Structure 1
Amino acid sequence: MQRIVYLERDSVIAEVRRPAFAHEWTEYASTTPAQVIERLTGATIAIVNKVPLPAAAVDALPDLKMVAVAATGTNIVDLDACRARGIVVSNIRGYAEHTVPEHVLALLLALSRNLVAWRETLLAGRWQQSDQFCLFDHPIRDLHGATLGLIGSGSLGNGVVRLAEAFGMRVLRAERKGATAVRPGYTAFAEVLREADAISLHCPLTDETRGLIGEAELRAMRRSALLINTARGGIVDEAALIQALKEGWIGGAGFDVITAEPPPAGHPMVAPDLLALPNFLLTPHVAWASRPAMQTLADQLIDNIEAFVAGAPRNRVA
């Protein structure tokens, strides 16, 4: 009998079917780090999303055999501790291959066409007071003919390429930062920073990618360039980004992720003066969260669990 404990059921709005094998199912709407060990005691399968599962928790759960991550990113799980115990860790893949790229393009379009600034103009009554049929208060740029730099790949990056090329954009795939050789089909990292009219991030958060975009990289970008981040907050140095936006090192930024989620009071990325900037858009980590995508995630989550119990684990990361 498998004992399955779902620690964060409210993190997905979808129908989650029950696995097709004998099991005991317990779910919690949400779970704090302090509650993890108590709630997973006796569990053989843990379903987690954002609540951390550190080595200390893994070591305190002798019955645990599988960790089913209800997301693609697995940085919240101590994978080395799981490997040492022989615990299988599986994640979700490909479920957001349409919704995240669409969010990226939405941010690019909104920033390129200055939609926030135009809304403020109308709220201020400028059009209503105009003596002609249109206004020219804010510049508008087309995506057609612009160059998009892609850092990271996978299904999400490939989805962005598909949509960007449909808009007539030229796409440059960035080689790894610091690489001594450039692979066929890729462009040197520094060259992408210099050439791109917009850069979209699609790499995982690792020791190598933490702070990947900092002051030096932001200063190397075009002053009109846009930076889009739907990956992970820690990939970008937030203090440097805020300075870049306020001092005009880059043209604008559209983010769906920050370093602390949800942000605590006083977090600089949700400061009112920053959110008021017309060239900065921040959404609350929802690029992945279309209803069809969440249902695909929920279905794949149970597929992963059933595959593990059948002796053929899938989507393994440990």
Structure 2
Amino acid sequence: MRAVFVDASPTLAAVMERLHRPGDPAMTVHRTPNVTPAELPDALDGAEIAVIDHTALPTDIARQCTGLKHVVFLGTGARSYMSPEELAGLGISVHTIKGYGDTAVAECAFALMWAAAKGFAYMDRGVRTGRWLRTDGVQLTGKTLGLVGFGGIAAELARLASGAGMRVIAWNRSPKTFPGVTFASLEDVLAQSHVLSLHLLLTDETRGFLSADRIAALRPGVILVNTARGALVDEAALVAALEGGHVAHAGLDVFTTEPLPADHPFTRLENVTLSAHSAFRTPEASDNLIEAALAHCRRIRAEGA
């Protein structure tokens, strides 16, 4: 059984080559992070397993990938890049990886929250161009952090925020409990949060979850943080709320279209702090991610699937 890592960044390629063990399924690593979907059939060259980081796999392209039986997607958001149900109809199983970067992503969300509250990006841009832009920040101690969705990342962020003296409330689609966190209705979380952080998986049900109506229901002057998936948010409605001041600031690591187009309205708004979908990028998370991908490959071979 043979696997191909089709779109390895230099960092992840090095990690894969370091962690791949003798006796593991053969692994070809393509150090070509900018692969187009049309190039995938040739890149896979009949391999049974495709390891994919961020390249779309349309169903019509998958049909051309002779021999492909498994996709190991490096993360949880496979639906942003492919249709697991349609691939299953072709006999291709999609495997995702959870938990590998919970601490890394939570730390990024925590950092975006503080950067937004203090206006660091705005002042940094000004100072670099000779403008002494002093701005009043928001004191977060004693403020309420609302978490929409509560898995491993949200739990880590709750721990960090509680340690910083914030009150933490959360809404989850299924009942949860967690020390120091008050679970409430979605309506209460939207209305009470000084900072709202999104932690939902992207599915057909959650696409556009933070709609124009739900943005309007947010506490005036809220800070919004999104390290989950861009498509959870109605971006046009968010832009309008930022322009009007209903949302005071947004700290965004993810976007509906990635890379973010240079002419996107977010790039022109001073009350937006931008990050390049890098929340998970730490050495520790990369090791966890690639080790989990290799574990999938070993299991697939052992099952003879």
Alignment TM class, shorter chain as reference: 0.7 to 0.9
Question: Compared with structure 1, are the counterparts of its residues 125 and 24 closer, same or farther at alpha carbon in structure 2 (3 Å cutoff)?
Answer: closer
Match of 2:116 among 106, 111, 114: 111
Question: Compared with structure 1, are the counterparts of its residues 23 and 221 closer, same or farther at alpha carbon in structure 2 (3 Å cutoff)?
Answer: closer
Name the CA distance, whole Å, in 2 between partners of 1:147 and 1:77. Answer: 36
Q: Secondary structure at the match of 1:5?
A: strand
Superposed displacement of residue 40, structure 1: 2.2
Q: Secondary structure at the match of 1:67?
A: strand
Q: Secondary structure at the match of 2:78?
A: coil
Q: Which amino acid aligns with 1:266?
A: D
Which residue in the other structure is 1:290 paired with? 282
Q: Secondary structure at the match of 1:227?
A: strand
Superposed displacement of residue 269, structure 1: 3.0
Which 10-residue stretch deviates more, 279-288 or 215-224? 215-224
**1:175-232 CA distances to partner (integer Å, 9 max, x unpaired)?**
44xx9xx877631111111111010001111111111112222221122210000011
Which residue in the other structure is 1:130 paired with? none
Which residue in the other structure is 2:67 paired with? 63
Name the CA distance, whole Å, in 1 between partners of 2:304 and 2:273. Answer: 43
Name the CA distance, whole Å, in 2 between partners of 1:22 and 1:196. Answer: 48
Q: CA RMSD in A?
A: 2.5
Aligned residue pairs, count: 294
Q: Secondary structure at the match of 2:293?
A: helix
Which 10-residue stretch deviates more, 16-25 or 248-257? 16-25
> Could you tell me whether the CA contact under 8 Å between 2:104 and 2:281 is conserved in 1?
yes
Identical-pair percentage: 32
Name the CA distance, whole Å, in 1 between partners of 2:117 and 2:5. Answer: 41
- TM-score normalised by structure 1 residue count: 0.84
Name the CA distance, whole Å, in 1 between partners of 2:132 and 2:71. Answer: 56
Q: Secondary structure at the match of 2:183?
A: coil
1:147 aligns with 2:149: no
Match of 1:95 among 100, 122, 145: 100
> Could you tell me whether the CA contact under 8 Å between 2:123 and 2:132 is conserved in 1?
no
Q: Which amino acid aligns with 1:26?
A: T
Which 10-residue stretch deviates more, 100-109 or 185-194? 185-194
Question: Compared with structure 1, are the counterparts of its residues 22 and 139 closer, same or farther at alpha carbon in structure 2 (3 Å cutoff)?
Answer: closer
> Could you tell me whether the CA contact under 8 Å between 2:208 and 2:232 is conserved in 1?
yes
The structure number with the bigger radius of gyration is 1
Name the CA distance, whole Å, in 1 between partners of 2:15 and 2:239. Answer: 39
Q: 5+ residue gaps in structure 2?
A: none
Name the CA distance, whole Å, in 1 between partners of 2:191 and 2:26. Answer: 55
> Could you tell me whether the CA contact under 8 Å between 1:5 and 1:43 is conserved in 2?
yes
